[in-house]
Structures are given as C-alpha cells and as structure tokens.
Structure 1
C-alpha cells in the first residue's frame, strides 16, 4: 500500500502537539523579528569554524501507514571534540535568572527534533541539545545543555508523531473525499463565456508547469471562477497543495467566496478560509492579546485544538461568521484560530499583506523552503503601490520628541535627544527645497536606533502600565519596521529626508518593488496575476516581478462594442494650470452627457478641490438634478448609503460626483440600469509630489520611461477602472465621456483597450448631443 504523505515543519509539529497555556503578547522581547536575526548572526559568527549556521534539515520517515516529510532549520550545529551539539538560539527580554531547564518545553522539543534528524542521517548515537538564550537588554548569554542518546530522541519524536496522527488521519480522509469530488467537478455554468475557457486553460497550464502568468482580462470574462476552477482541478491532480486567493479589497474577497460556493453547489467538497484582519475580528474593543485583558487569550492553547477539530469536521467554508461562532463556543482567539485553520484549508482567501508584506506575512507557510502553493492575485494593478508601501518605512522627528517628553527622567531620554539632534541636522541639509535624497542609507541613525530598541525593550518589559507606555510601544515597533527594511535596502531604494514646518521625515523608499515581489512569489510554485486593467501588460509584468519567460495574455472584451458609446471631448484642457478656467464648461459638458436619457450617472475628477468647484457650479446651473458628492472620509455605512441611491428609475436623474482612483472608481458593481454612464475628467495623473518624481527619475535612468511609469500608466489605470463601472454584463449599455485634450494624443490612445479603439471625438456640445441621440435611439 502506498503510504499517505504528510509534509510538516518541525515548528508546526511541535506546536500542534505540545502547546498549552495563554496567548500573551505583552512586551517580552518582541524585537525578535528584527533584532533576532542580527543577534543570531552575531552568535553564529562567534562560534568559530566549528559552528555551522542555519542548517536545513529534512527527514523522511514511514510510520503507521504515513510517510512523514519533516523539515526545519537548525540555528547551529557545533562539532566539538567529544560530541556534536545542536544549538537553538532564542532572544528574550526576560532576566536570564528566570530561565531554567523547565522554562519552555517547546524550545527543547524543537531542538530535539533537529537532533533526531541529524543523528539519524549522520549515524550519531549520542549528541548534545543546547538552548542559547540571549538577553537583548543586558547582552548576557545563558546556555542550557542536555546530552541525549539517539534512542531517547527516537522515543520522543515517535511520541510527537503518535499525537499528530490524530490530525494526519483526519486530514488524509478529507483529502481523499476532496480529490474524489474534484474529479467529478465540471465547470459550474452551462457554458463558457467568450475568452473564459482560454483563460481557464492558461491558468491550469501555468499551475501544471510551475510558472507565472500575467492576464489582462476585461470585465465580463469571469476572472474569479476562471482562475479558481482550474486551480481546484489542478489540486485534485496533485499539481498544487494549497491555493492562496489574494485581493486588495473586502468586496473581491466576497466574490471569491461566492465562486467557491458555486462550485460547492455542483458537488465540490472543499475547505476555504477567509482571513479577517485582527483588529476587525477581535471580540474586544482593543486587540490587546494577554490573559489579564482578554478572556479568550487566557488558556487559548489549552482549548484551540478542540476548536480546530470540531470546526474542521463540521464546516466547509471557514468564513468570518463561522470562525467567530466557534471561537466564542470554545473561548479562543478568533484571529489566532483563523491562522491555525489556514494550515488545514485548501484555499486561503486573504489580503495581499499575508503573502507579500515582510512585516506580517504568514511565516508558518513562507519562512522555510518553497511551498507547494499557487498564488491567484486578483486586481493585480493595485499591488504596485501597495508593494511600495509594504517595502518602505519612515520615521518622524515629532514622534521621538513626544516619547522623550513622556519618558522624562528615564535613561532612554538621552538616546531620544541624540536622535532628535541628528534629525535636526538632517533638517538643515534640506535647505530651501525642503528635502534631500541620497542613494546610501542614513547609517548615522542606525547605532542610535539600535540603542533605542535595547533601552525601550527594558522599559516596555517592566512597565506595562506606566505613563507613555502606548506611545513608546508604537514608536518601538515603527523603529523595528524601519530597521527591518534596512535588510532589504539595495539599488531599488532611495533615502529621502523631507521637512515641513518643525517636522522632519526620514524615509527608506522602495522605488521599484519588482525584485522583492519576485522573491515573494518564489515562496510558492505558481502565480497568476490578473486584472481588467493590466495595461500596458509589459509594464505590469516588469514592475510586479515578472521575467522575460513569463506568459502574458490580453483578452478582448466579451461584450458587444456597440453597447458602449465612447466620446472624447478633446477641446478642453484639465491640466492643473487650466482647471480654474474650465469649471463652467466642464459643468455644461456633464449636463450634456446625461440629459439625453434619465437615469443614474457618475462623474470622476482628478482631485477633491476640482470636484467641489464644479459641483457648486453644476448645482447652481442645474438645480433640478439630484446630486451626490463623495467626501474625504466616508464610513462603511456612508459608502453603502451612497451606492444604495443608485436604483433603476427611468423617471429620475441622479448624478454622483466622485474622485478618480477613489472608493467608487473601482470594485463597485452597478449592473443594468443602476448606472447608465460616467464622465471622466482628466487623464488621472497622480498628484505631482516628491515620491512620484523620484520614481520618474529612477525609471528614466533605467529604461527612459520615467514619466510613463510614475505618472501616465498609473493615471490611465484609474481612468480604465472608472470607465469599467459602466458595462458590467452582456445586457448593459452605457456612455463614457472622456474630457481632456490628451485623450486624443497617440501616447494615451495606445493605452486604450481593444474595444476603445475607435472613440468618437466631439468638438462641442452639439456633437455630444448628436452622438448620444443616435446611440440611445439605436438601442
């Protein structure tokens, strides 16, 4: 009989069999993520020639009808004269006198597993297990050592496997049921739409070949089901082990959930989980994870395995509501439960952050070797700027000054003063321009920041309720994030210092996220980047970390071209210097665009100020037309209320004023007569600013496409997204009026999608009226 295969990391094996007690994230050396790496390297280097650092260990063992593939990475293996030592390094802020042999059984268990693997593979009958604790405040080191025989390690390891077999058997039974249902699964709709079958085949081949694919697929093809269905089929054939469906917005996560439910309705047995952000799913007013503050944190690890087992046996869709219900029943943390369940789910639906952001990505999946994962990256055009945010970090002088004032009399005050002094010096260098840039890192800050981390660590460990604790903790984490980005800094970055009034900002700015995104997707085996507006495809392929050998496909719109009336009013300039003189004419053109057919319309502007100025004029000129206007900050309820006003009503005129690139220009679905048309003012160029200009200069030197990469392509993406609100289904018909002289230039026209190739250029109001009369009467 062929044994069932179980792949698991040493860390997961140990945690799921031995963990117990509370969740407690009160400050006990939380700097491990950043400072821990530096300390590990320091101790490993100090070990000398006999110290082999970061040793990857893999072990295959057949045990009770299962083939376990266990892997991990030992911090160090030391060759001494008398014996081999397995070294496991732990950084801590806990005084070392509190740490003894009974301090943490998980630490010992992890090191023993490494010892078992090394001993088995190297025929070593006896070796030493060593735990090295490094106190990040005092820099003291404490080593605990235990000599064990290989037979003792085998007994211990088999005990872990026996405990884990309960889970393994359940998971294997589930996989057999799942794979059987996948084999019987057909495409969940009566027929493929135009382009849909070709997209599904391309995705399947990409997964089968462990490749990357970039897809520009207009609205209507059905991108979600066309990527998920072939991924599910590939899973049934063991071509991928787990699917990550990555999105930028809640609405697209809901669409993915619905697509999986559609397949379940056709007989698919499949477990999916949607990961909700910690702050949103937490039951408490503030997500403070310690047993004194939260009853769900108290004893969480004593109860969580029972919660996982019951939920896994009873449910298929691990949605937010389901996770919250089981969390309350078993009194466990819903966020931690969802992270654990992700290990058992077939598909993980989540935000980009959980795969790409170095600060929060799911280390349980991505910290060791490449996983058997498929990444389906929806609305991939959003990932460019999101990636720049993920890979950048900044510090401001005012936050250091604030904490200094709150920590009067504390030794940390001197360090904060020195940091403030250095930043004042940076401010002087900014000169009249108010900023300066440099290719090198601000290394003069680093020794002071590390000193701050060490002193803040000591304060935070012992003063949970002291004045200024929260502000110090926030600054502490901001500094750690900054120092984390230091590890990533290379030629794709630039440092800039900017000053405004008394403020000074120092930023490590990621100009080009392509390298880091490329490395991130290597954590899986295949990736599909897709969007309705991945235009131009070569630009997005490059900036999202693609390679020359990656496949790229652009699909035509499946909708009838004659259902869209595309007009270009190219006699008006909306450039910043000309905007004030355009308000009246813009208002008149908007009215012309909507007057031929009553119904609902949206108009998009390049800025709030431009929108408000035209809104006031339009409201005075056409007071009989009902209007709505987007505000700077809108709650979820206000957004829903705004969209609910767009109801089909042929006897009413409703016009919504919105900002291009804002919350209503993408991700909303107003089908049929809910929306008859949009008017788009300007070519969507991002506001001129220091960062955009730095991006422009970087790519000007790299490929002579600086303006295009920094301004033109991101701007046109906003235009295409806003225009895409109009035709959402094969029965939809509508109007798009583009207002700006640049829309008729070759450089912008070549970015028009195929179904925009022949726009009607209108020179005045009469031509707009004529074309719209012809369009609406001809339908």
Structure 2
C-alpha cells in the first residue's frame, strides 16, 4: 500500500479498507467523509495498489486546479518515500495548455482556429510534438529524457515552451504510459472528448478506475454539459455578421429574420419541443450557418454568433436525453434534467469507481440521480476533537422572504456584535448578493475590522487576490469576508490554521424558484422520488455544509459556526446535516467560553 504519511488519521484506515472492497468487487462506492480526514491520500493508497496489480489506469477526476496540485504532490511524495517512478499526467483543456501566442487566451473560437492551423501544418509546436516537422526533430526525445514522472500542468506547459512542443500533444503521449491521469469531468463525461482521449491512449472503460473528488457537484456539472442557451442579443449580432458574408446558394436572411420574430413573439415560459421545428430541421440552414461562420473565423479570427446558433440547433435536435426548454429574460434555454444520461455508462463499464465528498447526504439521492447500480455507501465521522468546533443557531431571525425585512436589522446587529468582539478572521456567507448588499450597507461604517466583499462576476485572479488579502489581514484583530454561499469562496478554498476562526451563515441559501427547478421537481416526481427534496432542499443543505466546513482543516484547528436562521433548529432541516454536526441553540455563555479558549 502506497501511503505517504507516517501514520493514519482516525477512520482513515477504515476508509481505505472500504475502498479496497469496492475495487475488488468492481463496484461504485459513495464515501462521505468530513474535510480533513484525508480522502485523497486514502483513495490513492487503495486505488494505486489495485491498479498496479491489475494493470488498470487511475483517472483522478476533479474540477479544482488546487486539487490537481494536491494529487500531483501526493504522487511525488509517494515516489520519494517508496523510491519508485510512478508516472502521473495532469490533463487540462487544450486551450489552457496552448503556447501559441496568437491562440492562447482565446474563447470558444480557439478550437476551430487551432484545428485549421494544424490542418495547414502551420502550428510548429504541434509538428514538433508529433514528429512531422520538416527537420528531423529531436526536441521530443530530449524532452522525454528531462521530464519528471510527476508534474503539474503549469510546469509541463513551461517545459514544453522551452522545447517548442505542443503541451496537449505531449500530455497525451505521456498518458499512454502513465499510471495516473488527473483530469476534469469533461474528459470523462463528454463522449466526444473521452472517445478521442481513450483512442489515443488505447484503452477502454474496463481498463480504468475512476476517483471523483467533490462528487456532490457531479449532478450540476453533468446537467450543465447537457444544457445550452441562445439569446436575442446573439441573434441580433448574427444578423449583422451575416451582412459581411458572401451569399451562397442558400441565403440565411429569411431564416434569421424568422428566428428573431419567433423569439420575440414567444412569451417567458416553457416551450413545446416543436416550437422551432420548421426552422431547425432544415439541413441547408445548418450547412449555410457553418459556412458563414467559417468566413467570419477566417477573416476576423473569432467564432461568430452564427456558430452559436448552429450549436444551439444541434442541441435542440438532440432527443435522446431528458430535457426542458423555456424562455426567460430574452434568452431561450435547453436544460438537461437527467445526469445519469452521461454517467450511467461510466459506472456500468469501468473497473471500479470511488466518489468522495464531505457533503453527500442523503447518499441514496446521489446514487439515484447519477444512475449508480448497487451502490456501496459509507459515512465516516470527523477525525478531529469535537470540542474544537462549536455550531449554534439563532431562533429569533430568518431570511424567509415574508419575514426578511423584519429580520435584516437584527441580523446586521448580530454580525456587527460578533465581528467587533472576536479577534481573528471571520467569514460571513449570504444566500444572495441582495442580502449581502443590504447587510453591508447597514454596517460597513460601524465595524472595527476591514471587510473584504465578493463582487459579482469576479475573475479567477480577482478572487484569488481578494482571498489572499483576507488571509494576510488575520494579524492583530483580523478581518471579515462577505461572500455568497455556493461559489468559489465557500467551496473551492481552504482556510487552514488561523486563516479562519469563525463562520457566520446568514439564512438558508434557497435559490429563487425558476423554470429549471420546476422542471427538475416534475422530473424526479415522475421517477417516484420526492422532487422538491431532490431538486431544491437537499442541494441547498449541501451548500450550507460545504461553507460551514471551511474552518476545520486539521486536528489543531478551532472554529465556531453561527447559523442565523430559526429554520436551522427545525427537525426536517437539522436531520439533513452530517452525523458529526451538533447543532445547538445559541447560548452566549457557551459561545464566550469557547471563544476565550481559541
């Protein structure tokens, strides 16, 4: 067994044994284990042994770049400890790998322009990596001699830049002999991408074992892969773009005018499956759209909105999956409802699957949604001292819409009191930007601590900068982070040690009911499930638990969690929290005693 640490944490050995059972019996296992138990190390300890013995490839699937790095570093440590040379490849999107200064950084048009450049044999890094350059190329051989057995994608890209090699081609070449491939969900669940990847490597699903990290996000991620949208703005831009294009045998002018007319005519609400049929099932239209897009791409080096319409037509024509169609706010949406349409094949044909998360309750729901046959389900308690975490709820406030106006001033006062009296960094998570802004306006000038506020539509760099500044301000009296629950601040970031000593959750982050949620409820009701729970309640509680788990990352961390909503004391909500949560009604004496010992 390959385990990089000297000793295991409590419950980690049991987790490894359970994972071993799943693999030996070719099952799919769902494992709910709190943050800090060591799920990644447990999975590697179990799966690496199995894969080497049975000549399988391990695909470690995670969407977070930080988790990519953690897996790579774990393999490096294992190689050092056991004096072995286990190869791991960090696979990212082709566009993120590209070293061509004219292509890297582009949006959706990247892939078409990349393909055109390769066909014209004008991409020299690609020619070098594939051995097709006019000169006898030795750079790929030199590269392989210098390549380390485990490198993060950013390191691989920099190394390929030095050798003038296409990092994506090189990563696929390395994947053929790699024992471990770290990748994104798209590499596995998008059929076109998976088929191309597996074809190059020369494997089938039966040759693979999959580990899915943060697997509670899979249903939403898979639905997004199955979904599409088209806006009135895009149609208007497409008409303007088409004016620049040469008119061929089939003129799109009438088509675009009719599409805009039908779009404007349709009121907000659900659409019938045949609403656009007369327009969308004409092959001449699709051919002409792609031809016109090719002209725009060639001359302006960007994908046109004509391309966007063509893709939307293809999504509309796909009738194998369960989906809903609706219009709202000048946009028409196609929303996939059944994630198992993509996942069922993976779980049926692979040699074993490990799905891990700190928020997997209720676990049977995830099994149902993802189409997992005969799931092996296990839950584990926290390995850390219970006295290191205090979770309390207030029963005199709520963010329920009909009571919100009355509660918001009280909520603002409670937050102000806690952040002004307790030293250290505190994160306050809100159910929406509206509530965040309302509270911020009430207290921004009455706090001792500096408040860092999450903005709408922040870029990855802006997010990182804000988090880094928040952490740096932990010295002295500390600072405060205001963020919306469900985003990268509450799920994708670790706050170890004294980076975070307290979390305040403002209300339940129930989303505004919309057409998609209504369709999901109806769909799961039709599957003899409780649609309201599957589509609305359970995903909301999962977001709360994820946010509340940010404070305890090791056995020495201490943190308090304050839940500002009376509904946290209601049995139907309380019962959905993991077993190691002990939700208490707020008691000022207990809270003060806990804080004094931090």
The TM-score with structure 1 as length reference comes to 0.69
Structure 1 residues 366, 201: CA separation in 2 closer, same or farther (over 3 Å shift)? Answer: farther
Shift of 1:303: 5.3
What's the secondary structure of 1:731's corresponding residue?
Answer: coil
Aligned counterpart, 2:496: 671
Aligned counterpart, 2:595: 776
Q: Would the aligned equivalents of 1:272 and 1:316 in 2 still touch at CA under 8 Å? A: yes
Deviation digits for residues 648-686 of structure 1, max 9, x if unmatched? 856313111111111210122212222111000112212
Q: Would the aligned equivalents of 1:596 and 1:773 in 2 still touch at CA under 8 Å? A: no
RMSD of aligned C-alpha atoms?
A: 2.8
Aligned counterpart, 2:177: 344
Q: Would the aligned equivalents of 2:59 and 2:208 in 1 still touch at CA under 8 Å? A: yes
Shift of 1:619: 1.7
Q: Does 1:475 align with 2:306?
A: yes
Shift of 1:215: 0.8
Partner of residue 403 from structure 1, selected from 209, 229, 238: 238
Task: Judging by fraction of residues, say which structure has more strand.
Answer: 1
Q: Would the aligned equivalents of 2:26 and 2:352 in 1 still touch at CA under 8 Å? A: yes
Q: Would the aligned equivalents of 1:440 and 1:494 in 2 still touch at CA under 8 Å? A: no
Aligned counterpart, 2:323: 493
Partner of residue 250 from structure 1, selected from 65, 68, 73: 65
What's the secondary structure of 1:579's corresponding residue?
Answer: helix
What's the secondary structure of 1:273's corresponding residue?
Answer: strand
Structure 1 residues 442, 700: CA separation in 2 closer, same or farther (over 3 Å shift)? Answer: farther
Aligned counterpart, 1:121: none
Shift of 1:631: 1.0
Aligned counterpart, 2:441: 616
Aligned counterpart, 1:30: none
CA distance in 1, matches of 2:140, 2:92: 17
Deviation digits for residues 518-574 of structure 1, max 9, x if unmatched? 123445321111101111111112112212x11011111111222111111122120
Shift of 1:279: 2.6
Aligned counterpart, 1:320: 153
Deviation digits for residues 363-419 of structure 1, max 9, x if unmatched? 231798534001100001111111101012233444344223322351377335325
Partner of residue 265 from structure 1, selected from 70, 73, 80: 80
Aligned counterpart, 2:338: 512
What's the secondary structure of 2:413's corresponding residue?
Answer: helix
Q: Does 1:447 align with 2:281?
A: yes
Q: Would the aligned equivalents of 1:606 and 1:684 in 2 still touch at CA under 8 Å? A: yes
CA distance in 1, matches of 2:130, 2:594: 65
Structure 1: unaligned runs, 5 residues or longer: 1-184
Q: Would the aligned equivalents of 1:427 and 1:504 in 2 still touch at CA under 8 Å? A: no
CA distance in 2, matches of 1:748, 1:307: 60
Aligned counterpart, 2:371: 545
Q: Would the aligned equivalents of 1:415 and 1:451 in 2 still touch at CA under 8 Å? A: no
What's the secondary structure of 2:251's corresponding residue?
Answer: helix
Shift of 1:197: 1.1
Aligned counterpart, 1:277: 93
What's the secondary structure of 2:10's corresponding residue?
Answer: coil
Shift of 1:340: 2.9
Q: Does 1:237 align with 2:33?
A: no
Answer with 1 or 2: which has the greater Rg. 1
Structure 2: unaligned runs, 5 residues or longer: 105-112
CA distance in 2, matches of 1:377, 1:625: 39
Deviation digits for residues 321-376 of structure 1, max 9, x if unmatched? 44224423442222222233222221111111111124543523179853400110
CA distance in 1, matches of 2:29, 2:284: 45
- Comparing both chains, which one has the higher relative contact order based on Cα–Cα distances under 8 Å and sequence gaps of 6 or more? 2
Q: Could you tell which deviates more after superposition, 241-250 or 326-335?
A: 326-335
CA distance in 1, matches of 2:257, 2:17: 58
What's the secondary structure of 1:714's corresponding residue?
Answer: helix
Aligned counterpart, 1:194: 10
CA distance in 1, matches of 2:241, 2:466: 43
Q: Would the aligned equivalents of 2:490 and 2:546 in 1 still touch at CA under 8 Å? A: yes
CA distance in 2, matches of 1:672, 1:522: 41
Partner of residue 536 from structure 1, selected from 353, 362, 373: 362
Q: Would the aligned equivalents of 2:497 and 2:557 in 1 still touch at CA under 8 Å? A: yes
Deviation digits for residues 700-729 of structure 1, max 9, x if unmatched? 333352221122111111100110011111
Partner of residue 728 from structure 1, selected from 553, 563, 585: 553
CA distance in 1, matches of 2:72, 2:152: 8
Shift of 1:280: 2.4
Shift of 1:457: 4.2
Aligned counterpart, 1:573: 398
CA distance in 1, matches of 2:548, 2:402: 25
CA distance in 2, matches of 1:460, 1:594: 55
CA distance in 1, matches of 2:312, 2:403: 42
Q: Would the aligned equivalents of 2:289 and 2:310 in 1 still touch at CA under 8 Å? A: no
Structure 1 residues 278, 395: CA separation in 2 closer, same or farther (over 3 Å shift)? Answer: same
Q: Would the aligned equivalents of 1:358 and 1:390 in 2 still touch at CA under 8 Å? A: no
Q: Could you tell which deviates more after superposition, 692-701 or 320-329?
A: 320-329
Shift of 1:464: 5.7
Aligned counterpart, 1:435: 269
CA distance in 2, matches of 1:413, 1:555: 63
CA distance in 1, matches of 2:17, 2:65: 27
Q: Would the aligned equivalents of 1:439 and 1:495 in 2 still touch at CA under 8 Å? A: yes
Aligned counterpart, 1:168: none
CA distance in 2, matches of 1:203, 1:306: 44
Task: Judging by fraction of residues, say which structure has more helix.
Answer: 2
Deviation digits for residues 152-188 of structure 1, max 9, x if unmatched? xxxxxxxxxxxxxxxxxxxxxxxxxxxxxxxxx5422
Q: Could you tell which deviates more after superposition, 587-596 or 220-229?
A: 587-596
CA distance in 2, matches of 1:386, 1:686: 17
CA distance in 2, matches of 1:215, 1:482: 39
What's the secondary structure of 2:477's corresponding residue?
Answer: coil
What's the secondary structure of 1:444's corresponding residue?
Answer: helix
CA distance in 2, matches of 1:461, 1:776: 64
Aligned counterpart, 1:424: 261
Q: Does 1:712 align with 2:537?
A: yes
